[in-house]
Amino acid sequence: MNLSANSHAPAWVCAPAHSQPSLAGLQWIKQMLMRITVLAIFLTLSGTLIAGYGKAQELDKIFISIELKNASLKTAIKKIESATQIPFSYRTAEIAEVDNIFLHAEKMAVSKILDMLLKNTSLQYELVNSNIVIRKLKNYESPSIPPIDVHEQQMVYDGSIRGKVTDQKGDPVSNASVMITELNKGTAADKDGDFVISGVKAGTYRLSVTAVGYSNQTITIVVANNEVAVANVQLQELDNKLKEIVVTALGINRKQRSLGYATQEIKGENLTVAKEQNVLGSLGGKIAGVSVSGSSAASMGGTQKIRLRSVNSITGDGEPLVVVDNIPVSNSNYAGKGGKDYGNLAQDINPDDIESVSVLKGASASALYGLRGQYGVILITTKKGSKTSKKPTINFSSAFTIEKPGNWMPLQNIYGAGSSLNFPTIDINGVETKYVDGTWDESWGPKMDGTPVRHQYSFYPGDPDFGKETPFIPHPNNIKDYFETGHTLNNSISVAGGGQNITFRLSYNNTSIKGIEPNTSLKRNNLSFNGSLNITDKLLLVTHLNYANNKAIRPSQGYQQLGSRNMYQWFQRNLDMKKLKQYKYADGTFYQWNVNDPNDQGVYENMTPIDWNNPYFDAYENPSNDSRERFFGDVGLTYTIIPGFTVSGFIRQDGFTQNIDGRNAAGGRGVPGFWTGKYESKEMNYEFISQYVKEFGKLSLQANVGGNILTQRYTSLTQATVGGLVARDWYNIGNSVERPDVSNNLRRKEVRSAFGSVSLGYDNTYFIEGTLRRDISSALPENNNAYLYPSVGASVVFSELMKVPAISYAKLRGSFAQAGADIDIYQTANSYVLGDPYNKDFPMYVPDKLNNPDLKPSLATAIEAGLDMRFFKDRVGFSVTMYQQKNKNAVIDLDVPGPSGFTRYVINAGNIRNRGIEVSLNGTPVQSKQIKWSTMVNFAHNKNMILELYPGNNTLIIDQNTYASVPMYLLANVGEAFGTLVGNGYDRDPATGKILLDNSNMPMWSTNHKLGSSLPDFTGGWQNSITFGNFDLNAVIDFQSGGKFFSWSQMLAVKSGQHEITAAMNDKGKNIRDPLGDGGGYKITGISNTTKQEVTAYVNARSYYRNVLGNKIYEEWVMDASYVRMREIRLGYTFSQQKIAKLPVKSINIAFIAKNPFMIWQKAPKGINPGELATGSTSNNWLETGQLATVRSFGINLNVGF
């Protein structure tokens, strides 16, 4: 038996993989993964060189002449090889039985010759890449074979129909039904869209082609004897807002009508409207029940937080699992480390690679993910190559945007630095000299009326203005002047294609960002490859490979004593930013503004800042550098046992290495030092899944059974100098004065899972489904580490039961499910901890936290029901979902009394309930040949309540923030919504509700006032897409109503005397800072606590704003987070084919794009963006501590197709 050499594969390709790899075998698995990946890329790329020869129809176009007399089939093959230069592959024993062939053909198609040679034999032929493969037919019962005497026009055989079913893009439509109406005879298209119907007698027939999600197509075809009639059919995709086929959990494709739960899908082109860098940020306002909030550093790769259906844990934690091409990928958040926001890891996904995003919002949709599905799932499907590409397609995209800071807080420009309306003086060589008080970081000082004074820089001997008096004047734009115009350049290129047995797509993206703050930047590179290869008719190899690297210098975040985030809070309105920018003198001395008084010689002796560095000093001397390399991908094999029954195996990996370092330079506040951290994470998933899809008349079945082994490994190594640096400006751990502080960490975890699902349908109308998953986690106690997560659902497409012309589609659905969230590692057993060295010994001690051997994973139990309807041929539609989800057994650290020997005890606690409604309305109000307007409105309302916490306690502190020993709390209270803000508030008269005043006519206050919930009442968005001629316009608006947050920036801007309200005019026409005797003062009204009578009085403005409102009464600074925001705008133009006919391109589109261009309305005061609260490091959007400038982006995007 001889086989073509092409059919042999290297022995290691077929080596069986270990079903349960141990940690010791990970290196072997890594090597195997690399080998398989290299093989996949090699086979895929090499296959593209010959992909054009992969169609059997091309043999119809090759004509030869051949003469055979009493010849064997082997002889015939040799002659055809010689005439066509196309090699054959066959088994000698299989063709040996065919002989006695007589044939005379003149200029006959090779396909027809082969049909004649193999007629009435057990053999068939197939063109595979550049080889003609001869193989046996399956289940063939061999008749007696007489000698073959084939003479043209003397033999008569039935004809056949061969063709391909494709969509509008030319991509194959698998499993399409192809039927000859008159004969009631047909077949189904294979996975490549190809079909063959043989044994068709000569005649004219109607060929009917149908497929789910496409309009039916019927064509007329003529079949002749001895001929193969070719029928290539292109189906039109139904213009449904709810797609008929959707991606669900574990990447399983399901009919939309069969789902018992809500799911929404967004196409990739809707995610790149404004070239958002983080795919999570691009979901804002586009899906009902999905809330996206970013930090003010989001434009620099900062955090974008996403939450599905409100808060589902009493701790406030919990974000959805992100899955890319069935690869679970980390979305870890590095916000807040070292005062910087390094962002969440979803930013490593290139938005230009995304084909679609499906959001599984409830436990019903995500139950198949078990311990990882409690908070929902974001399913991302990336773009692939096409088997029907005649040649590779190339797409190039380039976007350039400028970033402008905006939304400035209104500040006063009347009074400057100090604590008094009078200048301080200093005796310099016997002369009393007025000077600007650098010890004060506030603006409660004298009027900035041009009085000659000595400014801070005049006490630096190296300054050109040393010893000089200069006018004391305001610099109204000093904070604005610190910021610069940023810009982003994003270039992306992709090559995609394929052939009969192969697909590939290779893409590269480069992003370069210059931030709006000095010395901030980010550079990112993404490289991805997707490929598939039909090794045989039954065996398919697929791979998805993604690589990303990032390098950045990021701005500071939040309330930190560094950077620019505190200039609203602690600054001087007289400071000249041009002088601060020249922060370093020729002698190496640094110019700082917040310093102690000069000596009597008029020179600063101690130039170390008291509280705040010069912002330019922080930007250039204290940068934080970070870099990250990341790889995620998979390789898998799918084998088709019989049509509709497949088994698949995958190896999936997600890993990254992140390096972060920071420093504190000499010449600034604090001890000079350096710190560095290296963080490495690796997750492996080994998955097996089998799928069976079959229709039995009106009954349909889809079933899946599989298993998964998840292994996680995380390590960190952090090092920091102690006691300063031996050599100045040498930032190295070895330069530490004292023994460096070194810490390392190793975390490992494994979860083993088995899962299954089944979906039954009847008459394409009634559907019922169920899923079950069992997870065994190494983080749980050994005797209680296995948990089951079930789901059931049902739907009825009742539009099939009543034929109402106006109703295009109508479905009623409902579901019940449970999903979990695993606990963190090392929480079920107690152990000793290694302490700091003492006399060369390393002591061991018992930690303060007492672990719990009875911990359970948290559990979500959800029920939902919904209605989906479309009308007037899908011109109008809506989807409504009502749901309830209860989440219990969250893992919390409980404070315990000190005599117990511990300070904390870890327990399961809490039960939180969410009830809500989600509505999506869509329509096409205008549709003509020239204009089409599509619109969609999303709305979600959620009611949250804490049902229970833990025995004996009805209150849990979720978070807190303290200033000047006055705390503000975020609480979980039983019977209330999550996230109650509690802090100091006004005391009020019970009868009138007016503020009580003390004997000094100042407001009275007390602790523990409930100041509202951080959760919004409702959220939503409005999307519009308009095409008119060659122009296209897209706009996205998102909105939120309700939700409270505490603004530290507003409070401290008032306390420091910078906010404009601290220098307003009173009703007497006087500035409120003027002395009370001159008609100044702040007018206050209230009820006297002593007399209980209403009082109107004027009080000292500084005492009122600085000493009372500025740090005593937090109620004043709790604000409403309601807003309506223009999130994205795109106006594009596509050049007509006539205009680009002479260019070597297929398409050109150029567009103006804008991201976050303006706030339409907000309830919070100007200067605070309620959509960008805090630093992104907090789990809940309740606290704003250092927001400064909202970034608005405007630019041009060019897309070219080749």
> What pLDDT was estimated at residue 368?
86
- For residues 757 and 258, the answer to whether their CB atoms sit within 8 Å is no
Residue 1194, token pair as written in the block = 């405007």
pLDDT for 80-102, tens place per residue? Answer: 887 877 877 777 778 887 888 88
> What is the dihedral angle through the alpha carbons of 82, 88, 93, 94, rounded to the nearest 10 degrees?
-120
| Closest of 964, 1165, 1058 to residue 570, by C-alpha | 1058
> What pLDDT was estimated at residue 337?
54
Residue 298, token pair as written in the block = 């989001």
| Closest of 1082, 1091, 1110 to residue 989, by C-alpha | 1091
pLDDT for 635-672, tens place per residue? Answer: 999 999 998 999 999 999 999 999 999 999 999 988 99
865 pLDDT band (50/70/90 cuts)? very high
State CA 136 to chain mean position distance. 50
238 pLDDT band (50/70/90 cuts)? low
pLDDT for 419-456, tens place per residue? Answer: 999 999 999 888 899 999 999 999 999 999 999 999 99
27 pLDDT band (50/70/90 cuts)? low
More confident site: 13 or 1101: 1101
Residue 317, token pair as written in the block = 């934690």
> Which DSSP category does 1002 fall into?
P
> What pLDDT was estimated at residue 339?
67
| Closest of 478, 630, 474 to residue 548, by C-alpha | 630
HSE at residue 944, side-chain half, CA atoms within 13 A, is 24
Domains of the chain and any CATH numbers: 51-155 (3.55.50.30), 161-234 (2.60.40.1120)
Q: Are strands 131-136 and 203-210 parallel, antiparallel or unpaired?
A: unpaired
Amino acid identity at 1167: G
**pLDDT at residue 14 above 50?**
no
12 pLDDT band (50/70/90 cuts)? very low
> Which DSSP category does 415 fall into?
B
What is the mean predicted confidence (pLDDT) over 543-557? 92
How far, CA to CA in Å, does 383 sit from each of 353, 495, 545, 928?
6, 11, 12, 30
- For residues 502 and 534, the answer to whether their CB atoms sit within 8 Å is yes
> What pLDDT was estimated at residue 276?
86
899 pLDDT band (50/70/90 cuts)? confident
Cα distance between residue 608 and residue 617, in whole Å: 12
Cα distance between residue 497 and residue 506, in whole Å: 9
> What pLDDT was estimated at residue 562?
61
Phi and psi angles of residue 285, each rounded to the nearest 5 degrees, phi first? 80, 5
105 pLDDT band (50/70/90 cuts)? confident
What is the mean predicted confidence (pLDDT) over 614-643? 94
Cα distance between residue 706 and residue 303, in whole Å: 35
pLDDT for 473-522, tens place per residue? Answer: 999 999 999 999 999 999 999 999 988 889 999 999 999 999 999 999 99
Residue 1202: partners with Cβ closer than 8 Å, 6 or more residues away: 393, 394, 395, 396, 1144, 1145, 1146
59 pLDDT band (50/70/90 cuts)? confident
| Closest of 1052, 1060, 1170, 1172 to residue 566, by C-alpha | 1052
**pLDDT at residue 138 above 90?**
no
- For residues 572 and 443, the answer to whether their CB atoms sit within 8 Å is yes
pLDDT for 262-306, tens place per residue? Answer: 888 888 888 888 888 888 888 888 999 898 887 666 667 777 888
| Closest of 569, 587, 609, 568 to residue 456, by C-alpha | 609
| Closest of 602, 413, 615, 386 to residue 518, by C-alpha | 615
**pLDDT at residue 19 above 50?**
no
- Residue keyed to tokens 């310099």: 428
More confident site: 134 or 680: 680
> What pLDDT was estimated at residue 55?
40
Q: Are strands 88-89 and 131-136 parallel, antiparallel or unpaired?
A: parallel
Cα distance between residue 232 and residue 1070, in whole Å: 86
Specify the DSSP element, H or E, that contains 913: strand 904-927
**pLDDT at residue 765 above 90?**
yes
Cα distance between residue 880 and residue 262, in whole Å: 9
More confident site: 31 or 913: 913
Cα distance between residue 681 and residue 688, in whole Å: 23
> What pLDDT was estimated at residue 99?
82
Q: What is the 3-state secondary structure (H, E, C) of 613-676?
A: CCHHHHHHHCCCEEEEEEEEEEEEEEEEEECCEEEEEEEEEEEEEEEEEEEECCCCCCCCEEEE
136 pLDDT band (50/70/90 cuts)? confident
| Closest of 461, 470, 540 to residue 500, by C-alpha | 540
Maximal C-alpha separation, the chain: 130
Q: Are strands 148-151 and 844-845 parallel, antiparallel or unpaired?
A: unpaired
Residue 1067: partners with Cβ closer than 8 Å, 6 or more residues away: 1083
Amino acid identity at 218: T
> Which DSSP category does 1108 fall into?
I
> What pLDDT was estimated at residue 129?
59
**Other residues' Cβ atoms within 10 Å of the Cβ of residue 647:** 16
Residue 244, token pair as written in the block = 């008929």
pLDDT over 70 percentage in the chain: 90
pLDDT for 176-209, tens place per residue? Answer: 888 888 887 878 787 778 888 877 888 888 888 8
In order, the DSSP letters of 564-594 are: STTTTTS--TT--HHHHHS-B-TTS-B--SS
397 Rama class: left (phi>0) / alpha (psi -120 to 50) / beta: beta
Q: Are strands 673-696 and 217-223 parallel, antiparallel or unpaired?
A: unpaired
End-to-end Cα distance, the chain:
47
**Other residues' Cβ atoms within 10 Å of the Cβ of residue 26:** 15
Cα distance between residue 986 and residue 783, in whole Å: 53
> Which DSSP category does 1105 fall into?
I
What is the mean predicted confidence (pLDDT) over 692-705? 92
> What pLDDT was estimated at residue 159?
73
48 pLDDT band (50/70/90 cuts)? very low
Average pLDDT, the chain: 86
pLDDT over 90 percentage in the chain: 56
Residue 857: partners with Cβ closer than 8 Å, 6 or more residues away: 371, 777, 780, 787, 820, 821, 822, 823, 889
Q: Are strands 194-200 and 1147-1162 parallel, antiparallel or unpaired?
A: unpaired
> What pLDDT was estimated at residue 362?
77
pLDDT for 1165-1184, tens place per residue? Answer: 999 999 887 555 555 688 88
In order, the DSSP letters of 150-215 are: EETTT----EEEEEEEE-TTS-B-TT-EEEETTTTEEEE--TTSEEEEEEE-SEEEEEEEE-TTB-
118 pLDDT band (50/70/90 cuts)? confident
pLDDT for 1114-1162, tens place per residue? Answer: 999 999 999 999 999 999 999 988 888 889 998 999 999 999 999 999 9
Four-residue CA torsion sign, 1100, 1101, 1102, 1105: positive
